[in-house]
Amino acid sequence: MKRDFLNYKIAELSELQDDAKRKAIAYFHERITAFNPELNAFLEVLPLSANYSSGSLSGIPYALKDNILARGTRTTCASDILKDYISPYDATVTARLKAEGAVLMGKTNLDEFAMGSSTENSAFGPSKNPWDLNRIPGGSSGGSAAAVAAGLVPFALGSDTGGSVRQPAAFCGVVGYKPSYGLVSRYGLVAFASSLDQIGPLTRCVDDAYAVFKTIARKDINDATTINNGVNLKANDLPKIDLKGIRIAVPSDALDFEGLDERVKSRFLEFVERLTEKGAKVSFIELGILKYVVATYYLIAPGEASSNLSRYDGVRYGERVESENYEEMIKKNRDIGFGDEVKRRILLGTFTLSSAYYDAYYRRALKIRRIISDRINKVLQEHDFILNPTTPTLPGKIGEISDPLTYYLMDIYTIPANLAGMPAISVPIDPVDGLPVGVQFMGKRLSDLQLLSVAKEAEKLSGAYENGLAKLPERWLHV
């Protein structure tokens, strides 16, 4: 039987002969051209190119979230203020993928400056969920998730500040992985909240996530937060792990959260039962921090964002609107250039960093962050992994939610990993009413290989896969 390129893992695509690789690149380019007008997953599609070097990802097409730099391409961050900005250099992750032969196909849509949970906050229109075009793909890496879930590229990179890789992965039925903080360079990633941001891959299986992770992870002299020798990345394959005896903690307070959809909860508990049948030791524990994580995140992240985004003033970056004086010019530039969600977070961050309220809000949030981190570390001293639903809800309809707090709470299960710097991965499980559901494993800091290994075993218990790859919606199977 003739195999379609959609049925190949990354390792199999990289082993094709040169002629077949060129056909594969043309095949995915044709799919992007045909399907992107419906999905709005890409903000920029690059011309077809068959130039690639040898390496572990030789000839593998991929996409970059449009807040990651690739020399000569537009990097808009889905914002009007950067709509004409051309990247002058490659981000470290881009350069490393290029050196291993990966082929950049284009830049993907996002919530403006990665601020949002739906990809509705893009100045260039929302992306659509491939499983239901009336629904959101999640955010802020919604374009990257939609591109992978519709089979437009074998993998894409996103950035994860509070769950922005894992949440859209869950909504679109693909794998989303956030490495431990410090393993992947953020050089060339447009900063949102520097102490939380991390670049991670979206793929159709854990093996592919590992292949991308091995390529982009290691020390970078351009990013002082990266570390040496954190994880052994020399092995071709993930270490094998036996579910029998694995100690998994399930936070009962996550299951008691009033915003948790009963259908998501039911699927999650079915999956936990399968883990138990395979010999995993599952304990329901009281994590005790979930009610604090959203408030803590929305004091720290906007504070850092208000500082990071101060550079977009029409002088150093952004389109300039002429005015009578300097102050008026900056006000006009920022008012015209930024969308509502970005303005909301800059105002919130500026308020919490102000001298009158710094101790009352920001400093207190930093203390709570430490308490949250300590609690997670204590649980992970007694267990190998923490498991919970990736999101409390199914993907909502576009325009359905107008309350920002509702969107903020959609990240309640993913934020802890960012606050504590832990690795976490979302894996799709059996869908509900035709819509994807994801579960999240979180491990100890720098336990990335063990985390990926247990996620690979979890894939075998999921009904969301076929021949080792996450299923694609029927609508997108043929150009």
The residues that are catalytic are 65, 140, 164
Q: How far is CA 357 from the centre of its chain?
A: 32
Look up residue 347 and give its amino acid. Answer: L
The span from the CA of 140 to the CA of 403, in Å, is: 17
Look up residue 377 and give its amino acid. Answer: N
The span from the CA of 237 to the CA of 199, in Å, is: 21
What b/e string do you get for 187-218 counting C-beta neighbours within 10 Å, with b at 16 or more? bbbbbbbebbbbbbbbbbbbbbbbbbbbbbbb
Could you give the dihedral angle defined by the CA atoms of residues 151, 156, 160 and 166, in that order, rounded to the nearest 10 degrees?
30
The span from the CA of 42 to the CA of 39, in Å, is: 8
Residues sharing a CB contact under 8 Å with residue 139, sequence separation 6 or more, in sequence order: 110, 111, 116, 117, 118, 119, 120, 121, 164, 167, 168
For 80, which DSSP code?
G
Look up tokens 């894939």; give the residue: 459
Q: Phi, psi (5° rounding) for residue 292? A: -105, -20
Ordered strands of the 42-45 beta sheet: 42-45, 103-108, 61-65, 155-160, 198-203, 175-178, 424-432, 435-442, 385-389, 247-251, 281-285
Q: Which of 297, 357, 290 is nearest to 160 (CA)?
A: 297
Asked if residue 136 lies in contact with residue 159, where contact means CB atoms within 8 angstroms, the answer is no
Residues sharing a CB contact under 8 Å with residue 327, sequence separation 6 or more, in sequence order: none
